[in-house]
Homo-oligomer: A and B are copies of this chain.
Amino acid sequence: MTRTPVIKVSFKAQMLQAREDAIIEVVNHLLAEKGFEAMTVDEVAAQVGIAKASLYKHFPSKEDLAAAAMVRVMRKAQAYLQGLPAEATPLEQLRAVVRWTMELKLAGGMPSLPSQNSSLRATLIANPDYMNGLIEVSDQLGAWIEEAQAQGRINPALPAIAVLYTLYARACDPVLEFLKMGGQHTDGEIVELVLSTCFDGLNAR
């Protein structure tokens, strides 16, 4: 066993980390653009500019690639929640995070995975980083939902879990891409439109 200078190990680790970031960035955009099934690992390797075999040095399987991208976006969500102004009302917080989610999706940065893929689900559930992030985010959102319901801002007749799912679902709402495809509205208009139908509903008020 050879002693390695500390400075070199750190540098090497930095390189590894940088490459992993690049990989995850590519995976993130590919997942947003074409989904898990349609994304091939050859494609990922090509876009990163490394050999396919090198990918497997970092991630043991395609599922783990996707999981890493999900962990990353979950961390970004946690950071966003952390940065929200504490003085805002719960309803404002919820609207803000949904807006953030939809803006991310419209910008091509939201990895949407099929909700019915078993191998991928298993990998995600087995990933503590992902699961802890998901739970923390859900707890925060759940708390805001219940506060907003207690304040009579969000319909108290709705189960909080149904509200939570409805908010999460904006991250993969096909209405966003359809409206964008139509080309009649800016991204900002689309976000406000869907935000309105989500919170205010389709009915006139």
Contact = CB atoms under 8 A, between A and B. Distances in A.
* Copies of this chain per assembly: 2
B179 A162 contact: yes
B193 A201 contact: no
A193 B162 contact: yes
Interface residues of A, number: 48
Contact of A201 (B34, B182, B199): B199
Interface string A191-205: 001101111111111
A155 B194 CA distance: 13
B37 A174 contact: no
Interface of A: 33-35, 37-38, 91, 114-117, 149, 152-159, 161-163, 165-167, 169, 172-175, 177-179, 182, 184-185, 193-194, 196-205
